[in-house]
Amino acid sequence: GAVVSQHPSRVICKSGTSVKIECRSLDFQATTMFWYRQFPKQSLMLMATSNEGSKATYEQGVEKDKFLINHASLTLSTLTVTSAHPEDSSFYICSARDRRSGVNYGYTFGSGTRLTVV
């Protein structure tokens, strides 16, 4: 089945620095990837839709200058948390869709990245 690889699995950074998270579709091409954020004991919140070769679409309330998304190839999307602050500490999850799949709409999720800003 489709596999989505997300790295790093956990990262600790200092306040004010930037952190990049990678999401790769390993065995399929994904024209669209999605980025979610999840706080403890809460559900996944969609942050943005990453489109290959074009600008990302951000959900209401998500700062596009804060969370930079780049989808330069059909297998890689990156999320960069710029000037991170402790309140950005969260679990970030990406998802990609394999359009070849007829089940589950083809959506597969990465294993997530635990970001801790100190």
| Tokens of residue 1, six digits | 């089945």
Nearer to another protein, 89 or 107 (CB): 107
Q: Which stretch binds another protein (CB under 8 A): 12-20, 65-73, 76-84, 103-111?
A: 103-111
5 binds another protein (CB under 8 A): no
- Whether the Cβ atoms of residue 84 and residue 107 lie closer than 8 Å to each other: no
- Whether the Cβ atoms of residue 50 and residue 35 lie closer than 8 Å to each other: yes
How many angstroms separate the CA atoms of 71 and 53, rounded?
Answer: 6
Site string for another protein, 46-85 (x = CB under 8 A): x--x-x-----x----------------------------
Residues that bind another protein (CB under 8 A): 4, 6, 31-32, 34, 36, 43-46, 49, 51, 57, 91, 93-95, 97, 99, 103-105, 107-112, 114
